[in-house]
């Protein structure tokens, strides 16, 4: 018997970053939007815990106990006094180390899949608490849709979305380390007064009304200067997408994936083709939003 869970990627339509806290994390106002690129996590009883991964970027995925999917299975098993003897297979379609929460998606997916496989019957709140222990973005991977994340991003308030938004994601060569991007943010902010992060009312309105032009005007990522500082070539990718007719462009989360909002699905196809021919990215993917959260399939 196996259980498979499908989990979406995310883009941060607003990532407002505050000062560094005493625990080393940053306070955030993090507006997550789930997008239609998915990993599938399948769990099957086995002699002992092991992970495999398939997909074009599978070689970049750690297959040891640091993988969030393995940690999720371990945490759930420990809570219920179970041996986490399970084979976790990740069919990977979300860019690896790309700022689209692919690792977090696998954590949330493995958690939901193991809960179903073992019949541990966790409540939504119990699952969310384990997700928060796994990482700041993991609760959102479970929930999907759109949500405002406060605290270090793990405290979610679900948001209403009044329409579909169309995106292109330009995948860069190689990943960026999230802690390194936050460290660069701190370096760039040295000596400056970093205001407390707040969600923009205009951005929340644009989501609620499904207004792509208004959303384009309100997109904001405080980590973008840090990501560009570590990877200056991303400026060329952003410029290529804008020149190809995207309504707006920004770095996705801590990057290096860049995100382009377009008016229609056809525009998204055009922007993706232009990005591919520009030679400023490894590949370009089209995806719609909002997407649903983790789901047993
Ligand atoms: O929570 P997660 O394990 O995904 O965070 C990875 C790293 O990103 C943290 O170790 C920290 O360096 C940085 N981070 C942060 N503030 C947040 C979220 C993440 O500084 N709110």
Domain span at residue 106 reads 3-159
Are residues 172 and 153 part of one domain?
no
Contacts of 99 (CB under 8 A, 6+ apart): 176, 178, 227, 251, 252, 253, 254, 255, 256, 257
The H-assigned helical ranges of the chain are 68-80, 102-118, 124-134, 138-143, 178-189, 201-209, 212-218, 224-230, 234-243, 265-278
Q: Which residues does the chain have with pLDDT short of 50?
A: none
3-class DSSP assignment, residue 177? coil
Structural domain includes residue 253: yes
In the annotation, is 10 catalytic?
A: yes
| b/e per residue 95-117 (b: at least 16 CB within 10 A) | bbbbbbbbbbbbbbbbbbbbbbb
pTM of the model: 0.98
Nearest CA to ligand 1 atom 4: 135
Residue 178 Cα to ligand 1 middle (Å): 7
Q: What per-residue confidence (pLDDT) applies to 54?
A: 98
Are residues 187 and 47 part of one domain?
no
Where does a domain end: 159, 176, 197?
159
Report the CATH number that the domain containing residue 241 is assigned in CATH.
3.30.70.890
Are residues 93 and 226 part of one domain?
no
Are residues 10 and 147 part of one domain?
yes
Q: What per-residue confidence (pLDDT) applies to 29?
A: 98
Are residues 147 and 249 part of one domain?
no
Are residues 12 and 147 part of one domain?
yes
Q: What per-residue confidence (pLDDT) applies to 97?
A: 85
- Out of 39, 106, 115, 137, which one is annotated catalytic? 137
Are residues 224 and 114 part of one domain?
no
Report the CATH number that the domain containing residue 110 is assigned in CATH.
3.30.230.10
User: Pocket around ligand 1: residues whose beta carbon is below 6 Å from it?
Assistant: 25-26, 28, 135-137, 152-153, 178-179, 182
Interatomic CA distance for residues 132 and 135, integer angstroms: 5
Structural domain includes residue 9: yes
If you average pLDDT over every residue of the chain, what do you get? 97
Give how many domains the chain has, as a whole number: 2
Q: Bridge partners of 89? A: 42, 52
Best of 17, 20, 21, 26 for a ligand 1 pocket test (most atoms within 8 Å of beta carbon): 26
Q: Which atom number of ligand 1 is nearest to the Cα of residue 28?
A: 21
pLDDT tens sequence across 247-269: 999 999 999 999 999 999 999 99
| Strand (E) or helix (H) holding 4 | strand 3-20
Interatomic CA distance for residues 255 and 100, integer angstroms: 8
Q: What per-residue confidence (pLDDT) applies to 171?
A: 97
Where does a domain end: 135, 159, 183?
159
| b/e per residue 236-250 (b: at least 16 CB within 10 A) | ebbebbeebebbbbb
pLDDT tens sequence across 123-174: 999 999 999 999 999 999 999 999 999 999 999 999 999 999 999 999 999 8
Best of 28, 152, 155 for a ligand 1 pocket test (most atoms within 8 Å of beta carbon): 152
Where does a domain end: 159, 190, 208?
159
């Amino acid at each position: 018997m196996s259980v498979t869970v499908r989990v979406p990627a995310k883009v941060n339509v607003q990532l407002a970053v505050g000062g560094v806290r005493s625990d080393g994390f940053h306070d955030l106002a993090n507006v997550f939007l789930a997008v239609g690129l998915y990993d599938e996590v399948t769990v099957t009883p086995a002699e002992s815990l092991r992970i495999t991964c398939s997909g074009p970027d599978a070689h970049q995925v750690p297959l040891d106990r640091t993988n969030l999917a393995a940690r999720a299975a371990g945490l759930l098993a420990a809570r219920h006094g179970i041996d986490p003897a399970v084979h976790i297979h990740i069919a990977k379609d979300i860019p690896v180390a790309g700022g689209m929460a692919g690792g977090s998606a696998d954590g949330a997916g493995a958690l939901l899949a193991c809960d179903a496989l073992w019949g541990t019957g966790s409540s939504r709140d119990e699952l969310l608490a384990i997700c928060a222990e796994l990482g700041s973005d993991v609760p959102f991977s479970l929930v999907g849709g759109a949500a405002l994340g406060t605290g270090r991003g793990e405290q979610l308030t679900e948001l209403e979305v009044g329409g579909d938004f169309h995106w292109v994601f330009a995948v860069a060569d190689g990943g960026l380390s999230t802690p390194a991007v936050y460290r660069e943010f701190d370096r760039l902010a040295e000596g400056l007064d970093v205001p407390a992060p707040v969600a923009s009312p205009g951005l929340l309105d644009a989501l609620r009304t499904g207004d792509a032009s208004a959303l384009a005007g309100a997109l904001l990522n405080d980590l973008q200067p840090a990501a560009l500082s570590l990877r200056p070539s991303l400026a060329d990718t952003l410029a290529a997408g804008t020149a190809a007719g995207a309504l707006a462009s920004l770095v996705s989360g801590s990057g290096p994936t860049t995100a382009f909002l377009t008016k229609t699905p056809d525009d998204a196809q055009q922007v993706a083709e232009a990005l591919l021919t520009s030679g400023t990215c490894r590949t370009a993917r089209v995806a719609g939003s909002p997407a649903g959260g983790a789901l047993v399939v």
